[in-house]
Amino acid sequence: MSDQPAPRAMIVLVTAASAVVTLFGLREVSSIAGPVILALVLVIAVSPVRSWLSGRGVPAWIQVAVPFLIVVLVLLGMVAVLTVSVMQLATILPTYATQFQELLAEAQRFAARQGFGEEQLASALRAFDPGKVLGFVQTLLTGLLSVLSSLFLMVVLLLAMSLDAPITSKILASGSERSPALVTALTTFAGRTRRYLVVSTVFGLICSTLDVVALALLGVPLPLLWGVLALITTYIPNIGFVLGLVPPALLALLDGGVQQMILVIVAYCVINVVFQSFILPKYLGDAVGLSTTMTLLSLIVWTFVLGPLGALLAIPLSLLTRAVLIDSDPAARWAAALISGDATPAPVPEPASSTAGTGRAGAGPPGGESVGPGA
């Protein structure tokens, strides 16, 4: 009787409760967990640089310093561009007060022709108070200062992880015989995350550059700011394109009217939809390993847990969760197929008595990926 398995309902409830406790716990320490996870993802992204330097016999301190400096310089560059651009935005927005009032008056006349009452119009006008726009800019500045305050923590974490990367790689490699499935899962996570970041960054740079050129040709103010925003929102699944489009479209509406706003929307749609809907999926292939539904759920859950940083890290976080909870367990391969949306039947795991066979099934890293984030 003691060997009788627990009821399935109890297992489901305990698992759900554990997930809720874990997520809310991460949410409470999001100011620490967010930078830690971002630092881990960045170290994984630049780990091929260390491997390339190691293969050429470069001294160990250079293998650590070069990837570290690459990440730090990129972060500092993006923060500098965002800081200057957001301050410029806060400066020029008040100059559009007259255009804003004219647009509201035109919208009021249009709504009146459509039969809306005075009370409804007054409520709509209060909702579009220009002060709220300035408040939004202040929120952006506050968020930017928050990023700056955590930048020191991120740099320290990046340095620590860069120093530990070679040791971590050796530890994972030595554990491939004892826990082959877990090591293989972590290896696959690192490879998928790296490919996702590299491909998304390349296409994000192409799209953002074309967006900047289009905005400059259309005369929209601060095209560099909106280009950086478009690059950042590339990493936000499903809704990133919309988040990157709305601010420049609204500014184009204030600066040049409805026609300029429509031209901005058309330009963004042509550039981003072509790349992100047709070209990007071809190069990413099965690197993400998440279905459309799971990608959307990942965005919702991790944004709730870690805030805006969770939206940027939704895919890597979901890949890490999949690696630890599903891919590391050969008996859970059916769940991996369900999450990835792959209709191919998952292979049946070997009996528990065949220990060696099970180990071989998970031992070889797929695609020849290197082991660990420091690979």
Read off the pLDDT of residues 51-79 as tens digits, 9 standing for 90 and up: 888 888 888 888 888 888 888 888 888 77
Residue 13 vs residues 46, 72, 336: alpha-carbon distances, Å: 40, 43, 21
- pLDDT at 358 exceeding the cut of 50: no
Average pLDDT over residues 30-50: 85
The pLDDT-based confidence of 350 (bands split at 50, 70, 90) is very low
Q: What value does the mean pLDDT of the chain take? A: 75
- pLDDT at 283 exceeding the cut of 80: no
- pLDDT at 357 exceeding the cut of 60: no
- pLDDT at 207 exceeding the cut of 70: yes
Q: What is the pLDDT of residues 85-120, one digit of tens each?
A: 777 777 777 777 777 677 767 766 666 666 665 566
Cα end-to-end span (Å), the chain: 48
For CA atoms 216, 218, 221, 222, give the dihedral sign. negative
- DSSP per residue, 130-173: HHHHHHHHHHHHHHHHHHHHHHHHHHHHHHHHHHHHHHHHHHHH
The pLDDT-based confidence of 148 (bands split at 50, 70, 90) is low
* Site of tokens 């601010």: 247
Q: What is the pLDDT of residues 252-263, one digit of tens each?
A: 888 888 888 899
